[in-house]
Amino acid sequence: MGLFKTQGKVYKPAAEVDLGPGSDEIYIRANVKAPRMAGLLVKIFVWILETRIFGPLVLYILKRDNLIHKLVSYAEFKESPLFTPAHAWEDPKEQEVTFVKPDLTPAERVQEAINCLPISSETTAGSEDSDFYRWTIMDYSRAYRSGETTPLLVVKRLLAAIQESSDSQLKMAFFIHYSPEDILRQATESTLRYERGNPVSVLDGVLIAVKDEIDCTPYPTTGGTKWLHKLRHCIEDAYCVKQLRSCGAILVGKTNMHELGAGTSGINPHYGVARNPCDPNKVPGGSSSGSAAVVCAGLCPVTLGVDGGGSVRMPAALCGILGFKPTFGRISHAGVLPLNWTVGNLGILAGTVEDTLIVYAAISGHPLSDQPASLRVKNLSSHFYPHLNSNFRIIII
């Protein structure tokens, strides 16, 4: 289409762009001009686009009308563009802040987080008068260390619960993939570590599931589809999953999700509709539907999801749990499906802020080739929680 080439926009260096109140810079609003269609019309339109004669012409017109040629295709850049919002900054010096150095191991970072918790953090997330208790990471750790139970016994109960939730009466559709053999193997190894008196961290033996948008061997990563894993093979764990494994966590499978994360209901036509444990007649929200439902049901204290426009936070709200989307760059995106680039971040779903802090400490950071800023932990007890122990701190993002 060189014959119809249009004049592209010239982008000045960022340092020369005036964004102040008196700026004369023109902001070009997005005004998408594209046909709205469904069903048979979509199939016909796709057929036209794939033809050699009409396809390039239709595509050129669509790009022209939506300013793609002007703003992207034929644009002139005075400096190389950044594909991630990376810029230099300096962490301000603050009082009562614990700086978690990026060169610490995941287990060491977890211990730093534990040291920031109040000593009085000994209670289960649930009332004594309630029929339901939300067991926390520290509950699991204390039970394992005391010999009250073992990771192997817990996993056997988990597998029975998953089987029960998948039967014809409940059809909760929490998981897309899980392997009893692999889960039992991990639990056996964790149990042996406790018997020898050398657990890796408080996460050793703790059950964690991940959204099927995150690579976790030995499972394929489908993204909630029936075809994606055939084109993109999962050959190793995502970086965040590697961090959890190094802390001894038991990865129990891949949770259900809205297909390609393109919706907020969590309804999946291929793997079933993940139901909300608070009311099985309701959806859990999406797109991290299975991850939220698993925590809500009490099967795992923590799960991982991915959040672009609320895909962790919305299902967390609908299921009555906590959903945390960290600032971009705090957690490595390596090994996660590139569905929404820098808009989408790995997120954590948990029953308590305490559990969120512990897992965040474990998975924060990047490979050595791409380190983010230091993790910071601040003491806020004297300002907001005077009744808590003075060692209470939370992560500052």
Residue 85 in any domain: the answer is: no
Mean pLDDT over 22-26 rounds to: 80
Q: Are strands 76-77 and 10-11 parallel, antiparallel or unpaired?
A: parallel
- Domain count of the fold of the chain: 2
Q: Is the same domain home to 305 and 377? A: yes
Tell me the per-residue pLDDT of 309-362, one tens digit each, with 9 for 90 and over: 999 999 999 999 999 999 888 899 999 999 987 888 999 999 999 999 999 999
The DSSP output letter for 104 is S
CB 332 within 8 A of CB 288: no
Q: Is the same domain home to 73 and 128? A: no
Q: Is the same domain home to 38 and 134? A: no
CATH number at residue 321: 3.90.1300.10
Residue 91 in any domain: the answer is: no
Q: Is the same domain home to 363 and 269? A: yes
Cβ-Cβ contacts under 8 Å for 279 (sequence gap 6 or more): none
Which residue of the set 190, 201, 211, 364 is catalytic?
211
DSSP state letters, 239-253: HHHHHHHHTT-EEEE
* 166 counts as catalytic: no
Q: Which of 34-48, 201-215, 227-241 has the lowest mean pLDDT?
A: 34-48
- Residue 376's alpha-carbon distances to 158, 346, 360, 371, 379, in angstroms, are 35, 18, 12, 14, 10
The reported pTM is 0.80
| CA–CA distance, 316 with 221 (Å, rounded to integer) | 22
Residue 90 in any domain: the answer is: no
* Mutual angle of helices 106-115 and 353-363, in 10-degree steps: 150
Residue 245 — pLDDT band, cuts 50, 70, 90?
Answer: very high
| CA–CA distance, 174 with 294 (Å, rounded to integer) | 6
Q: Is the same domain home to 149 and 279? A: yes
| CA–CA distance, 162 with 221 (Å, rounded to integer) | 20
Which residue of the set 288, 311, 332, 381 is catalytic?
311
Q: Is the same domain home to 49 and 143? A: no
Q: Is the same domain home to 221 and 288? A: yes
Q: Is the same domain home to 328 and 183? A: yes
Q: Which of 46, 77, 108 corresponds to the end of one domain?
A: 77
* Domain region containing 345: 97-396
Q: Which of 77, 109, 140 corresponds to the end of one domain?
A: 77
Q: Is the same domain home to 20 and 103? A: no
Amino acid in position 170: L
Which residue of the set 287, 288, 289, 364 is catalytic?
287
Q: Above 70 in pLDDT, residue 263?
A: yes
Q: Is the same domain home to 103 and 66? A: no
β partners of residue 396: 376
Residue 87 in any domain: the answer is: no
Residue 23 in any domain: the answer is: yes
Mean pLDDT over 31-45 rounds to: 88
β partners of residue 210: 254, 304
Residue 105 in any domain: the answer is: yes
* 287 counts as catalytic: yes
* 311 counts as catalytic: yes
Mean pLDDT over 155-164 rounds to: 97
